[in-house]
Amino acid sequence: MDSNSLKQFAGAIASGAVRVVDLTFTLSPDFPVIVLPPEFGQAAPVRIQQISRYDANGPAWYWNNLTFGEHTGTHFDAPIHWFTGKDLPNNAVDTLPVRDMIAPACVIDCSAQAAQDPDFLLTVPVVEEWESRHGRIPERHWVLLRTDWSKKGWRDYANLKDDGAHTPGPNAAVMRWLVEERGVIGFGTETIGTDAGQAGHLDPPYPAHHFLHGGGRYGLQCLCNLDQLPPTGAVIVAAPLKIQNGSGSPLRVLALLPAA
């Protein structure tokens, strides 16, 4: 590729010929975070503490101190997040290859199924059916699971019952298959995690985490606006914060797609 092509690309973004869609929720204190049993360590919620706002603490400037867990808001999971990926090289957000931060996406629309069943699980046949219409999932692509879950109110979004969360996600077989047979670069969801709400009861538990990170792949969760993406053809820009040995980070996720 020559520099002209890059210039053309920048021009296309500026002119709107390439559309930029924000797939990110606003990072705010009231956004649901993953809930673990209270005896485990908890993800710190997002806190925004004002340092000054053109006041006695800083007459001409406004700024805040932030605290949040690595896995809050729309966020990225690196392989080191899960035990299966703990010994891989370059497995943390500060060391993973920057070229992996820009990759195309296949968007599988399961919003109808998820509307019927909050515990909907993505399976290999569902993906194969998608492939029969849109072609085989190429290597180094993101697979994004569209469920329209991001359009729900917070309570329905978390959907916590007395036996845990009930939110859609992938089953174990499809995660293994996507990693091993399709070579995906990562898997993304609209829900609080890449795994289904009841994924602790699958074999292995939390298969998205297990297979993605064991295979050195990435996770994206709490995405929104997936309904604006075509089944294929969008390019995802997902660059996590460069946190030393970080297991993940909140980030801005952008999708680039040809304007209709």
Partner 1 sequence: MTEPIVKPRRKNPLLRTRLPTSPPRARSRASHGFTRAAAEGRFMLQRCGACGTFCYPARDACPACLSADLVFADAPRRGALLSETTLHVPADVHFRERAPWRVGLVAMECGPTLVAHLHADCEEGQPVVMSFQLDKSGQAVAFAHPERETPNMADDRQWREMTADPKFRRVLVTNGRSIVGQEAVAALKAAGASIVFVGVAEPWKPFRGEDALRAIEGVQIVPLDIGDEKSVADLAADIGGKVDILVNTTEHVRAGGLLDRQGTSVVRDEIDQSYLGFVHLAQAFGPAMRMRGSDGVNSAAAWVNILSVYALVNWPAFGAYSASQAACLSLSHSLRAELRPGGVKVVNVFTGPLDIDWFQTVPPPKVAPRVVASSIVSALKRGLEDVFVGDVAEDIRQRLAANPKAIERELGA
Catalytic residues: 81
Among 8, 26, 42, 245, binds partner 1 (CB under 8 A): 42
Smallest distance from partner 1 to CB 195, Å: 19
DSSP for 89-137 reads TT-STTTS-GGGGEEEEEEEE-HHHHHH-TT-EE-HHHHHHHHHHH-PP
Cβ(147)–Cβ(156) under 8 Å? Answer: no
41 or 97: whose CB is closer to partner 1?
A: 41
Closest-CA residue to 154 (of 243, 28, 53, 250): 28
Residue range at the interface with partner 1 (CB under 8 A); choices 1-9, 53-61, 150-158, 229-237: 150-158
Among 4, 5, 49, 132, binds partner 1 (CB under 8 A): 49
Cβ(114)–Cβ(147) under 8 Å? Answer: yes
Question: Is 45 an interacting residue with respect to partner 1 (CB under 8 A)?
Answer: yes
33 or 257: whose CB is closer to partner 1?
A: 33
Spatial distance between the Cα atoms of 92 and 75, rounded to a whole number of angstroms: 14
Spatial distance between the Cα atoms of 79 and 143, rounded to a whole number of angstroms: 16
Residue range at the interface with partner 1 (CB under 8 A); choices 38-46, 96-104, 210-218, 222-230: 38-46
Interface positions, 18-37, toward partner 1 (CB under 8 A)? 29-30, 32, 35
Residue 69 tokens read as 């867990």
Residues that bind partner 1 (CB under 8 A): 29-30, 32, 35, 41-42, 44-45, 47-50, 153-155, 157-158, 160-161
